[in-house]
Homo-oligomer: A and B are copies of this chain.
Amino acid sequence: MKRNFKLAKSLLATAILATAGTLCAAEPIQPIEPVKEIKLAQVELGKKLFFDPRLSKSGFISCNSCHNLSMGGTDNLKTSIGDHWQQGPINAPTVLNSSMNIAQFWDGRAADLKAQAGGPIANPGEMGFTHKLAVDVLKSIPAYVIEFKLVFGTDEINIDQVTQAIAEFEKTLVTPNSHFDQWLLGNKDAIGPDALAGYKLFKESGCVACHNGPAVGGNSFQKMGVVEPYKAKSPAEGRVAVTGKDADRFMFKVPTLRNVEMTYPYFHDGGAQTLTEAVDIMGRLQLGKKFSEAENAQIVAFLKTLTGDQPSFRLPILPPSTDKTPQPKPFN
């Protein structure tokens, strides 16, 4: 607990410095800023790749299958469905605002979006492919070859470019303009009295120790089960898998609470189906606090004000395979 509060204090100080002079300098949560600079050609290519199931062995699973941009950048399942309907070990975190994360995956094993993007493609339990085979597919499709050449200036396609383009697209997936952000920016009518009371509770109870900054989380690793142990439905042990340090057992990246109304179910194992349940468990296990029904409802009302403008773009049309394209193998 002490540790968490120390961290929170330092984060608060950073946040205050970073946003000094803005309307919301005194708040531990800052508005999401719109994307100000982006490599547009990479974004357009990355958008196609994000939706292209040919990056999977089966030809059926794309990034968008589990990070569905119609559904808050998640699959809304406890754990995801992978190649041959394998049950994943962990809940698919939202891709929305993921560029703000301190690192990627629940255990932070990828430093950034680019490092993350290659993971699921080659994970036998997810897209079940290899980087080489995925690149071979792209190389066989003239429209992709031309687009990679236009974007990266070379005749070669490699996995580094693939993940770079996907990551650049993912950087566009921010969700500014939530009711809460409008409130932060000075529109005091943007959220109702319940949500405001919920925000007050959220701050005073200590939730904000971990859930702070523009993403309302995503910027630290914390233990799941501080006051009481969490009985996880997943075998995942968190950050210890990356660091090997016993102290990192059950340390997980704090998830963003942006768009949390859309990203159910909650926790790394999807163990909480509703926000009410998640708030209750978090209060008891992390803060040693049992929220009353009314308090819980107020916090939930606040959390629902964190839903921002969802990414809005035309469904990409993918260039067709050719006679030379290696065929997908869905059933072997």
Binding site for B on A (CB under 8 A): 51-54, 58-60, 65, 68-72, 75-77, 81, 84-85, 87, 261-262, 264, 273-276, 310-318, 320-321, 323, 327-328, 330-331
The interface residues of chain B lying within 8 Å CB-to-CB of A72 are 320
Asked if A70 and B85 make an inter-chain contact with CB atoms under 8 angstroms apart, the answer reads no
Are B84 and A321 in contact, with the CB atoms below 8 A?
A: no
Closest to A304 in B: B320
Interface contact A315-B81, CB-CB below 8 Å:
no
How many monomers of this protein are in the complex?
Answer: 2
Q: CA–CA, A128 to B68, complex, Å?
A: 20
How far is A70 from B50 in the complex, measured between Cα atoms in Å? 11
Q: Of A71, A75, A273, A311, which is in contact with the most chain B CB atoms at under 10 Å from its CB? A: A71
C-alpha gap A85/B128 in the complex (Å): 14
Q: Tell whether, in the assembled complex, residue A59 and residue B87 are in contact, meaning their CB atoms are under 8 Å apart.
A: no
* Given A60-B77, A312-B314, A314-B313: A262 in contact with B320 (beta carbons within 8 A): yes
Q: Which residues of B contact A276 (CB under 8 A)?
A: 323
Cβ distance A258 to chain B, nearest Cβ, rounded Å: 14
**CA gap between A276 and B65 in the complex, in Å:** 32
CA distance A276 to B322 in the complex (A): 11
Inter-chain contacts of A76 with B (CB < 8 A)? 54, 59, 321, 328
* Set of chain B residues within 8 Å of A60, measured between Cβ atoms: 65, 75, 77, 81
- The answer to whether B321 touches A264 (Cβ under 8 A) is yes
A77 to B58, CA, bound (A): 9
Partner pick for A69 among B69, B311, B315, CB 8 A cutoff: B315
A20 to B275, CA, bound (A): 63
Contacts of A71 in B (CB 8 A): 53, 318, 320
Which B residues are CB-close (under 8 A) to A69? 315
Chain B residues, Cβ within 8 Å of A274: 323
List chain B residues, Cβ under 8 A from A273.
323, 327
Q: Which of B85, B275, B310, B331 contacts A317 (CB 8 A)?
A: B310
Across the interface, do A320 and B264 meet the contact criterion of CB distance under 8 Å? yes
Q: Contact check, A70 vs B51: say whether CB atoms are below 8 A apart.
A: yes
CA distance A46 to B85 in the complex (A): 27
Task: Say yes or no: A85-B87 contact (C-beta < 8 A), given A70-B51, A314-B314, A328-B77.
Answer: no
Check if B70 sits within 8 Å of A261, measured CB to CB: no
- Cβ of A51 to closest chain B Cβ, rounded Å: 5
Query: Contact between A315 and B318 (Cβ–Cβ < 8 Å)?
Result: no
Contact A315 B314 (CB under 8 A): yes
Chain B positions within 8 Å of A52 at CB level: 70
Which A-B residue pairs are the 4 nearest by beta carbons?
A85-B85, A274-B323, A262-B320, A310-B317
* Contact A77 to B51, CB < 8 A, known contacts A314-B314, A315-B315, A320-B262: no
Contact A316 B70 (CB under 8 A): yes
CA distance A312 to B314 in the complex (A): 6
Q: In the complex, which residues of chain B have a beta carbon less than 8 angstroms from the beta carbon of A317? A: 70, 310, 312
Q: Which residues of B contact A330 (CB under 8 A)?
A: 77, 81, 85, 87
